[in-house]
């Protein structure tokens, strides 16, 4: 694992999520010469209703899909945390793991999912990781007594500037991805285990395009990704 600082660290619950929610913005920033790190919290081994696909095979397929998609977008640093799919809980162990990655890569911007959306049928990994990342970036990252063990390893306090939450019901920021939309779609379409004809959500591609088109209308451009953008508090 290389050390930071990097421009952005995108932490997703499952393989594919970063590409779906943030892939266009990632590609745009990378084209501008900024470094983007991808962190994938779970191995995605439960994302199928087909009893003929064993969990370990699905995990292997999804890791390969994620590597391929990252390569298309130009993401050179990919971290697989390796948790089992549908196994995340916002507990001190997970927060500390995220904090270790945050203090190692030292990103200006942290990207993850909005833990509060959708309100009823929502994936528990999305709720857990979204909340754990928010908690790790603030207040934990600023509370040095929370991670004396990490400081003893040589890691130091770090303040992020902003957080971008994708899949938010309260978007307040639209990122114009018109110039890289084709590249995003190329990366998205790699995830055939999910959006392919035999995938768990074959209709998702149209849903995604519709979302990027509607966000584009809000932004006054052809295609955009929407986020809830937050300025990170710089003190406890
Ligand atoms: Zn997901």
Q: What CATH number should be reported for the domain holding residue 91?
A: 3.40.50.10320
The verdict on residue 196 lying in a domain is yes
> Tens digit of pLDDT for each residue in 71-106?
999 999 999 999 999 999 999 999 999 999 999 999
The verdict on residue 183 lying in a domain is yes
Alpha helices in the chain (DSSP H): 17-31, 55-73, 92-105, 124-137, 148-152, 181-188, 192-195, 204-219
- pLDDT confidence of 202, banded at 50, 70, 90? confident
> Is 60 exceeded by the pLDDT of residue 162?
yes
CA of 43 to the centre of ligand 1 (A): 10
pLDDT at 198: 84
pLDDT at 197: 87
> Is 70 exceeded by the pLDDT of residue 213?
yes
pLDDT at 67: 98
The verdict on residue 54 lying in a domain is yes
Instruction: Write down the mean pLDDT value for the chain.
Output: 96
Q: From the CB of residue 46, how many other CB atoms can be counted at a distance below 10 Å?
A: 18
CA of 154 to the centre of ligand 1 (A): 33
Across the range 15-40, mean pLDDT stands at 98
Domains: count for the chain: 1
The verdict on residue 121 lying in a domain is yes
pLDDT at 2: 59
CA of 212 to the centre of ligand 1 (A): 18
The rounded distance, in Å, linking the Cα atoms of 54 and 52 is 6
CA of 136 to the centre of ligand 1 (A): 20
CA of 35 to the centre of ligand 1 (A): 23
CA of 224 to the centre of ligand 1 (A): 20
CA of 4 to the centre of ligand 1 (A): 26
The verdict on residue 1 lying in a domain is no
pLDDT at 201: 87
The verdict on residue 2 lying in a domain is no
Parent domain of 111: 8-231
The verdict on residue 236 lying in a domain is no
> Is 70 exceeded by the pLDDT of residue 1?
no
Across the range 164-170, mean pLDDT stands at 96
Across the range 105-132, mean pLDDT stands at 97
CA of 231 to the centre of ligand 1 (A): 24
The verdict on residue 3 lying in a domain is no
């Amino acid at each position: 694992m290389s050390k930071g600082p990097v421009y952005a660290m995108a932490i997703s619950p499952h393989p594919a999520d970063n590409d779906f929610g943030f892939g266009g913005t990632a590609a745009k920033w990378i084209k501008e010469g900024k470094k983007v790190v991808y962190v994938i919290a779970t191995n995605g081994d439960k994302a199928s209703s087909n009893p003929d696909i064993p969990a370990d095979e699905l995990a292997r397929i999804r890791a390969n899909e994620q590597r391929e998609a990252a390569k298309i977008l130009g993401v050179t640093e990919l971290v697989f945390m390796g948790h089992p799919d549908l196994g995340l809980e916002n507990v001190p162990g997970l927060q500390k793991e995220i904090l270790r990655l945050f203090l190692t890569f030292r990103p200006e911007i942290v990207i993850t999912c909005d833990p509060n959306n959708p309100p009823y049928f929502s994936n528990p990994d999305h709720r857990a990781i979204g909340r754990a990342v928010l908690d790790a970036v603030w207040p934990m990252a600023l509370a040095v007594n929370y991670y004396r063990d990490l400081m003893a390893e040589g890691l130091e306090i770090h303040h992020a500037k902003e957080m971008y939450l994708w899949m938010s019901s309260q978007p307040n920021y639209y990122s114009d991805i018109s110039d890289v939309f084709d590249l995003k779609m190329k990366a998205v379409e790699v995830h055939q285990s999910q959006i392919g004809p035999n995938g768990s959500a074959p209709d998702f591609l149209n849903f995604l395009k519709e979302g990027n088109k509607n966000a584009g209308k809000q932004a006054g451009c052809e295609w955009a990704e929407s986020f809830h953008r937050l300025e990170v508090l710089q003190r406890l």
